């Protein structure tokens, strides 16, 4: 079963429906015991870094998420669910992230020709091919909505990149973690393929 963390933020319904469309059983929950027992865990998110951390703290979900990741079981972070894995964010000074991946979250520079937030379709590039991106072609288009992006300084990460004024990290792969800035649940058939690949790891 795929467990999606409900912490009061994010597009939970669209993520759960996307997995269900691929034939997976899904549980959406904020219960720490059920999260601790998940075979595959998904942390989606849309919104503010500090609010996300605060909600996870209040629901006592930080430790269960950390335990799940340390156990080696599959973990998928989406959008804000990628960013909170890092140590800190310019969006919320004073709110430490989970610190699972070394690095920080920064705001896009001010561009004359490009609007922030970045909203729309971008092509991804990757070196090697993470298992979650199996049969996802180089240069595939994914949908993004964000004003901040991650700057990893963790060694050993598999990085997926794209460009919007600057080249930035669109996703990271590290051991059992795959986390992406884009929204696979909003990225048509290629996004559903990614979710299907992740779900197949959770059996």
12 neighbors 6 (Cβ within 8 angstroms): yes
Active-site choice (52, 79, 180, 202): 79
183 part of the active site: yes
Distances (CA, A) of 41 to 63, 84, 114, 169: 13, 15, 34, 22
52 part of the active site: no
185 part of the active site: yes
**Which residue matches tokens 């409900």?**
6
Distance CA 103, CA 85 (A): 9
Nearest to 159 by CA among 202, 106, 150, 99: 150
Distance CA 140, CA 197 (A): 15
Active-site choice (52, 91, 185, 202): 185
60 neighbors 36 (Cβ within 8 angstroms): no
Q: Is 34 helix (H, G, I), strand (E, B) or coil?
A: helix
127 neighbors 158 (Cβ within 8 angstroms): yes
Distance CA 195, CA 18 (A): 8
Active-site choice (52, 91, 183, 202): 183
Active site residues: 79, 183, 185
């Amino acid at each position: 079963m795929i467990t999606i963390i409900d912490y009061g933020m994010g597009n939970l319904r669209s993520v759960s429906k996307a997995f269900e469309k691929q034939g997976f059983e899904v549980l959406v929950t904020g219960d720490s015991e059920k999260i601790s027992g998940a075979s595959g865990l998904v942390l989606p998110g849309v919104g503010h870094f500090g609010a996300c951390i605060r909600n996870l703290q209040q629901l006592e979900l930080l430790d269960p998420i950390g335990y799940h990741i340390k156990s080696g079981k599959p973990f998928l972070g989406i959008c804000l669910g990628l960013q909170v894995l890092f140590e800190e964010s310019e969006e919320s000074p004073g709110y430490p992230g989970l610190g699972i991946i070394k690095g920080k979250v920064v705001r896009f520079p001010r561009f004359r020709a490009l609007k922030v937030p970045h909203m729309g379709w971008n092509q991804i590039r990757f070196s090697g091919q993470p298992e979650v991106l199996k049969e996802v072609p180089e240069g595939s288009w994914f949908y993004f909505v964000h004003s901040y992006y991650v700057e990893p300084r963790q060694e050993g990460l598999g990085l997926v990149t794209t460009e919007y004024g600057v080249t930035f990290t669109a996703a990271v792969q590290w051991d059992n973690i795959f986390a992406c800035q884009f929204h696979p649940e909003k990225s048509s058939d290629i996004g559903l393929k990614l979710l299907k690949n992740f779900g197949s790891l959770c059996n």
